[in-house]
Amino acid sequence: MTEQHLQAGPLPSGMQLHDDGRLRHLLTIEGLPRELLVEIMDTAESFVSVQAKTVKKVPLLRGKTIVNLFFEPSTRTRTTFELAAKRLSADVLNINIATSATTKGESLLDTLRNIEAMFCDMFIVRHADSGAAHFIARHVAPHVSVLNAGDGSHAHPTQAMLDMFTIRRHKGDFTRLKVAIVGDVLHSRVARSQIHALNILNTAEVRVIAPRTLLPADVEKLGVHVFNDMDEGLHDVDVVIMLRLQKERMQSALLPSAHEYFQLYGLTNERLKAAREDAIVMHPGPANRGVEIASDVADGSRSVILEQVSNGIAIRMAIMSMVTGAAQ
């Protein structure tokens, strides 16, 4: 699969919905209607209670086959989807493409057609290239749904939805919230998806805080206020979303040392005082303690990082049951 393949043709966000507006694929948050985001969160709410039960399992997807199609390894992400699928009673297949079919020279499309022909119902796609999930969604059979589990620096919609769900459970109404996203926005698929989701949900103010080198050129067009200074940016916010700093960025001279980065953009309790007293702190994990976030903040009373993980299972159960038409 070449970049050319992936970029070929437009990426109509409408392809994510059935004609009647129901969710078919989840590839990107961009372009989705507000009601759908709310429906996802409402559905997830019903699965939160399932997780608290002794028997954490419902038979909604019994007899369905869900395939984790991972073109780059990610145990964390794979695990959350696998757990969500199993708790819906689906059968799960883990296929690591890098180490299998492509070594036989089989093309991606042939692989897809093959797995489809085995009557699989859903592909969870993780890929290092932006647009990979779209490419796959554009070519799958009518009975197959595709969920994007992260494609390059493009999108990570389930992560964004679990973040929205976590914010809603703590803060309720988005229209009165100030939310700051801090860190490497430029390379972050998570940030991109979060910004779209926050704006669709009519968040009062979405801010990004980062050095210029870690911001996209036209970042304001995404509908955010830009801050290069941490203390200014955190002033009076209700939610602080920290991004993970990829170590590779530091080596590529986009960044000073980890120590210097922490001095300027690391989240400490001291710095957090600029935010509202009841502000919550989020991070998609795994956190680089002492680089983008101080350990006592990550483990502190305002941190909802582990709730994000828990909510991630409920959100994925919700999306899986919605695309298969099984949601209650």
Helix intervals (H) in 26-95: 34-52, 75-87
Q: Contacting a second copy (CB under 8 A), which of 46, 51, 199, 268?
A: 51
Q: Contacting a second copy (CB under 8 A), which of 24, 27, 66, 82?
A: 82
Piece of 22-30, 50-58, 152-160, 216-224 that binds a second copy (CB under 8 A):
50-58
Integer CA distances (angstroms), 230 to 20, 217, 278, 280, 303, in order = 44, 19, 18, 16, 18
Piece of 60-68, 159-167, 186-194, 196-204 that binds a second copy (CB under 8 A):
60-68
Q: Contacting a second copy (CB under 8 A), which of 18, 42, 114, 204?
A: 114
Based on the shown chain and the rule CB under 8 A, indicate whether residue 15 belongs to the binding site for a second copy.
no
- Of 288, 290, 232, the residue nearest 262 (C-alpha): 290
Q: Contacting a second copy (CB under 8 A), which of 18, 21, 33, 99?
A: 99
User: What residue has token string 């209700």?
Assistant: 238
- CA dist 183 and 208 (Å) reads 8
User: 17 pairs with which residues across the strands?
Assistant: 23
Length reported for the chain:
328
Instruction: Answer for the pair 91, 167: CB distance below 8 angstroms, yes or no.
Output: no
Contact residues for 285 (Cβ-Cβ < 8 A; gap 6+) = 76, 244, 305, 308, 309
Number of residues engaging a second copy in binding (CB under 8 A): 52
Binding mask 256-295 for a second copy (x = CB under 8 A): -----------------------------xxxxx------
Tokens at residue 282, please? 């989020």
Closer residue to a second copy (CB): 139 or 276: 139
Minimum distance from residue 309 beta carbon to a second copy (Å): 4
Helix intervals (H) in 118-186: 132-139, 157-171
Coil, strand or helix: which one is 327? coil
Per CB under 8 A, contacts with a second copy among 200-259 are: 247
Piece of 101-109, 130-138, 177-185, 204-212 that binds a second copy (CB under 8 A):
101-109
Residue 141 CB: number of other CB atoms within 10 A? 11
Q: Contacting a second copy (CB under 8 A), which of 65, 199, 228, 268?
A: 65
Q: Contacting a second copy (CB under 8 A), which of 3, 42, 110, 270?
A: 110
Q: Contacting a second copy (CB under 8 A), which of 2, 10, 118, 328?
A: 118
Q: Contacting a second copy (CB under 8 A), which of 53, 175, 253, 301?
A: 53
**Alpha-carbon radius of gyration of the chain:** 19
Closer residue to a second copy (CB): 10 or 286: 286
Contact residues for 98 (Cβ-Cβ < 8 A; gap 6+) = 70, 71, 72, 73
Binding site for a second copy (CB under 8 A): 51, 53-57, 62-65, 73-76, 79-80, 82-83, 86-87, 91, 93, 95-96, 99-101, 104-107, 110-111, 113-119, 247, 285-289, 306-307, 309-310, 312-313
